[in-house]
Amino acid sequence: MLISVEQLELHPVSISETYPTGALDYHTSEFRQVGDLKVRGVAELVGGEIRFRGHLETRVAATCSRCLGPVEIPVACDFDLTYRPMETIARNEELELPAGELGVGFYEDPGIEVADVVTEQVNLFMPMQVVCSPDCRGLCPTCGVNRNLEACHCPEAPHESPFASLLERKPE
């Protein structure tokens, strides 16, 4: 669904969309949507800028970074976004944005696409490292067994600092 500036010049636009599994491209292989994504919100034109406020909910499936087991993550977040016309910065020079404007996005005519906004919000919601639980023991680095499911019988590696060899070297 496109939220056009033309529509917003007449009145605020209410959004209530549902995107089924597979309808959105998150541009990543790190996770996939496993439930409908529901988004509700209101977009309005505020002094030439598009302000889009709302809430989205879905579920995504990912792989635990420690044990490689499956993880399902509920996604629920509120957003309050501001978009400016691209021509306000379309110059051939580098610009430094003030700290208060780091959360501002830009759009090209005719407006903003809701699907693009919600995929960005889901990507931003996702943790950098997905873990199935805070106490996940991960895989054994020697035999590869999932230490959450079975005991590993590999000899315990010494807990030596990776910098220990530096202590042995004498300065010249």
Q: Convert the pLDDT of each residue in 25-38 to its tens digit.
A: 999 999 999 999 99
pLDDT band for position 170 (cuts 50, 70, 90):
low
Spatial separation of the C-alpha atoms in residues 76 and 115, rounded to whole Å: 16
* Number of compact structural domains in the chain: 1
Half-sphere exposure of 110 (CA within 13 A, CB side): 8
In a domain, 144, yes or no: no
- Residue 172: partners with Cβ closer than 8 Å, 6 or more residues away: none
In a domain, 135, yes or no: no
Q: Convert the pLDDT of each residue in 149-164 to its tens digit.
A: 999 888 876 666 767 6
Tell me the average pLDDT of the chain: 88
Query: Given this model, what pLDDT does residue 86 score?
Result: 81
Q: Convert the pLDDT of each residue in 62-117 to its tens digit.
A: 999 999 999 999 999 999 999 988 877 656 666 666 666 667 888 888 889 999 99
In a domain, 36, yes or no: yes
In a domain, 145, yes or no: no
Query: Given this model, what pLDDT does residue 5 score?
Result: 87
